[in-house]
Amino acid sequence: MIPAFRKAPCELCGADLDIEKTPGVHQWTSGWVMRREGGGGHGVSLPVRERRFAHHACVDLASRGSLTQGKLL
């Protein structure tokens, strides 16, 4: 049984995970990107962490295209 303060649903598969004890847990972050004149961007390290988590395997599958983009948002 996972204590409530460590329990969160995986954003990609919906299964519960222990955010402190499960190896390789990913946490959703957002931040600032400086736009470049030629296109693309330069990341700036000012991340904002949200209480959204996912299993490593789920993120790996998503990054390989096994999940639709709609499920990633």
Query: Domain limits of the chain?
Result: 4-72
User: Residues 14-55: pLDDT tens digits?
Assistant: 999 999 999 999 999 988 888 888 888 887 778 899 999 999
**Residue 6 clears pLDDT 90, i.e. is over it:** yes
8 Å CB contact between 25 and 6: no
Helices (H), the chain: 56-63, 69-72
Using alpha carbons, list the distances in angstroms from residue 25 to 3, 10, 38, 62.
Answer: 16, 9, 35, 14
What pTM was computed for the model?
Answer: 0.72
Q: Are 13 and 24 in contact (CB under 8 A)?
A: no
Residue 12's nearest CA partner among 47, 70, 31 is: 70
